[in-house]
Structure formats: C-alpha cells, structure tokens
Structure 1
Amino acid sequence: MNNWDEKSIRDVYERIKDQAPKHKFVFHDPFWMLITTVLSQRTKDETTDQAALALYERYRTIEGLASADVSDVGSIISKVGFWRVKAKKIIMIAQIIRDEYGSKVPASMDQLLSLPGVGVKTASVVLAEGLGIPMIAVDTHVFRISHRIGWSSSKTPEQTAQDLMQIIPKDLWIGFNPTLVEFGKAVCRPVSPKCSMCRINEFCEYYKKKNSKEK
C-alpha cells in the first residue's frame, strides 16, 4: 500500500469530486434516509428510490410508518429485493424509534446497529449524511475504489472503513461515501473501468498493474 500523506489524499479526493456526478439524495431527513438505505440492500438505486418515495407519500412520518399494516407496506415495496422481510423490519424500525427514542433517529453507532436490518454501512450513511456526524460508510463502490487506489488492502468493508478513517482527513468524511459511489458508477466501474479518462490514474495501483500487464 502506498504511503499516503494528507496533501496527496486531498489532491486525489478533489480530483474524484471534480469528475464524479453530483449525488442526489432522495431524502435528507435522517429517518427516511435510514429507511431508504435499508431498502437499498441488494436492490438497484432506481427501484429503491421509487419504493422509498412511495412509502413517504403514503405514510409521511415515523408514527405513520410505525402504525402501518405490513401487507400494505409490502405491496408498496414489492419490487425491492427481499421485500417481505424488509416490510416487517422497516415497520419495526419506525416503532422502536417512536417508542424508545421519542421519534428521533438515534445518533450513535451502537443504537443504530440495534435496529433490525441495520448494519455498519447503513448506520454510517445515516450518521454522516443524515445527522452530520463524521463517519465513512463503505459499500461496494467505496471498497473497490479504495482498494484499487491503494488506500486499503483489508478484506472486509468494516476493516476497510477503519483503514480509511485512519488516513482520510476527518473534514472529508461527510460526503465521502456518496462522492465515491458516483465516481464508481461513472468512472471506476466494477467491469470495464474508464481508466484512460480517470483523473486519478497516476495514483492508482490497479491502473499501474493493468498497464504493466498490457505492455
């Protein structure tokens, strides 16, 4: 792994931001961001967004979703992967937040992880992007990009997140995940990445190895 100094990291991140399309959150409200992120697991973004918006149009509030009928919720999110399981979980999430947290999304990792269907990635997204608490969430895009660049060589998303939070300046943590997600969709794709047009290829271990094999 490269020995990264802060200046180099900031330079690379600024280049990524410049080249990545701007991420558009469906919701900025932490509760609906939480629900959307739970729905997004193993589901395409467009399908997730449509389902989350339909839920919001129907129920509007934490209390509304908490008192919803599971079959009604299921019919609304039926195009989402594992929708039957998720319908039960998101109602339970709403009920727990209503009953145990006074209808406010809890602002700690441990409390979020205690909610059904919420893992480290989901909790990190909600903390950083919904509640403004610095955190780095590692999904498939962040994992792939950080390994290709050489920011991490760890085998799990959780350990990769720890690696990143050791080297990425804390003032960059909020917004880091959505920026890399968009960069991963547009440029650093899982298959056929656009290495030749990538503005950080000079820093990228993956690109260097790929080039050496082709020569």
Structure 2
Amino acid sequence: MTGKKNRIREIRQILRAQYPDVKTQLKHNNAFELLVATILSAQCTDRQVNAVVGPLFEKFKTPNDFAEADVKEIESLIRPTGFYKNKAKHIQNCARDLADRFNGRVPGNLEDLVSLPGVGRKTANVVLGAAFGIPGMVVDTHVARISRRLDMTRSKDPEKIEADLMTVIPKKEWNDFSLHLIFFGRQICKARKPECENCFLAHLCYSADKRT
C-alpha cells in the first residue's frame, strides 16, 4: 500500500510540475454561463463550445431568457456542438428549473445541481470547482481512461471512479487533479494512440495497452 501511495504522490507531483496553472477552458463570466457551457461540452470539444457561447450568451443572458426562448432559436445557435436538440431541451428545462426553484441562481451544492435537468455529477463538479471553489472530482472520459491506466481504479463506472480517486487524492487537489488528467489525456495519454514514447509518466504506468 505504501508503494502505491508513493507512486500516486509522484504522479501528482509530476502532473503539477507539467501543468502548474490549470483551469477550465470553457469561456464563461458567471456560474450560469459555465453551467450552460458544460452541458454543451458533452461529446464536443471545448474549442467548439467556445465558438458558440459568445453569440449564445449575447442573445440569452439569464435563466429567464433561456426559459422563455423559442427552443428552435437555441438549437440554431448551439447546432455546431452536436446533439443540439437534446442539449437545447436540457438547457431550457434547466433554466426553467433555476428560475422556478432557485430564483434564477445556480445552487452551490452537489445535491441541488444534480437535481437540475441535464446536469450529472461531472457537470456539477465542474461548476462547483470552477465557479464556487468547492472541491470536486470531475470524471470525464479522459479521467476515467487515465485513472485506470495508472491503476488508481479498476472500475468503468464514473461514480465508482470518482469515489476511488477521492480516497487516494487529497481533497484540496481534487479540482486540479481532474484538470491535470484532462490536459494530460488531450496531449499525451490519448484514447486510441497514447504517446507513450513522449510520456513523462511512463515509468509509473502499469497500463495493459501501454505501447512498447
């Protein structure tokens, strides 16, 4: 167990050195904009989301604006992010819920956030960390894949992965550690073609699909 703890400590230290200044890449000015942008980011790149949120938030600024909008207009503005019909429905229903139940304010706790339409634990933890400074372990596809490759979890269930990581990563590092793995996954530890030859964690990796 001590060996595993030391290995994870070294992984954390190396990631912090490689990515010393991490924050969400989604453009936003407040918690509500971040919530909408994170919903849009499902199965879509941050770059594509950032390309549409400018015109979107210029047209619709508050939960009430989205709640009262013609959903077709929302669809047309977010279409490049993919799955735009479902996303538009989720965003509008979420906005209506915020207006009806939370006086138009994004709640700052996990239980209330995940009660909103279209908001799962991943989205909630992104918002809690970036907008409220509340520690949360964001488990997206990068975090799920890399945490298994690094033998921090053996689960494929996001909620179980979240729980496993929270037991081995200090709470104050949860937000940054998630982002470290996301950045690392985009640049080096890719899903189909991990760049093991360029990987600064190769000596600490036990992955079965590690390239030799």
Q: Quick check: TM above 0.5?
A: yes
Note closer, same or farther for the CA distance 1:25–1:80 as it changes in structure 2 (3 Å cut): closer
> Which residue is 1:26 aligned to?
27
Distance 1:4 1:31 in 2: 39
Distance 2:55 2:102 in 1: 25
Note closer, same or farther for the CA distance 1:30–1:150 as it changes in structure 2 (3 Å cut): same
| Mapping 1:35-74, distance limit 5 Å | 35-74=36-75
**How far 1:89 sits from its partner (Å)?**
1.6
Note closer, same or farther for the CA distance 1:184–1:118 as it changes in structure 2 (3 Å cut): same
> Which residue is 2:121 aligned to?
120
Higher-RCO chain (CA-CA 8 Å, sequence separation at least 6): 1
Whether the 8 Å contact between 1:2 and 1:150 is mirrored in structure 2 is no
Whether the 8 Å contact between 1:124 and 1:136 is mirrored in structure 2 is yes
**How far 1:62 sits from its partner (Å)?**
2.6
Percentage of matched positions with identical amino acids: 36
> Which residue is 1:81 aligned to?
82
Distance 1:164 1:80 in 2: 30
> Which residue is 2:10 aligned to?
11
Distance 1:153 1:50 in 2: 36
| Mapping 1:52-201, distance limit 5 Å | 52-201=53-202
* Letter in structure 2 aligned against 1:98: A
Note closer, same or farther for the CA distance 1:25–1:44 as it changes in structure 2 (3 Å cut): closer
- How many residues in Structure 1 have an aligned counterpart in Structure 2? 210
Distance 2:26 2:85 in 1: 25
Residue ranges of structure 1 left out of the alignment (5+ in a row): none
Distance 1:112 1:81 in 2: 23
Aligned Cα RMSD in Å? 2.2
Tell me the alpha carbon deviations over residues 165-204 of structure 1, each in whole angstroms, 9 at most, x when there is no partner: 0110111012222221111010111122121221111111
Distance 1:2 1:156 in 2: 26
* Letter in structure 2 aligned against 1:88: K
Distance 1:22 1:174 in 2: 9
Tell me the alpha carbon deviations over residues 72-118 of structure 1, each in whole angstroms, 9 at most, x when there is no partner: 11110112222112112211211211221122111222211111111
Distance 2:9 2:94 in 1: 37
TM-score by length of 2: 0.89
| Mapping 1:197-208, distance limit 5 Å | 197-206=198-207
**How far 1:160 sits from its partner (Å)?**
0.5
Whether the 8 Å contact between 1:152 and 1:160 is mirrored in structure 2 is yes
TM-score by length of 1: 0.88
Distance 2:134 2:71 in 1: 32
**How far 1:66 sits from its partner (Å)?**
2.5
Larger deviation, residues 44-53 vs 31-40: 44-53
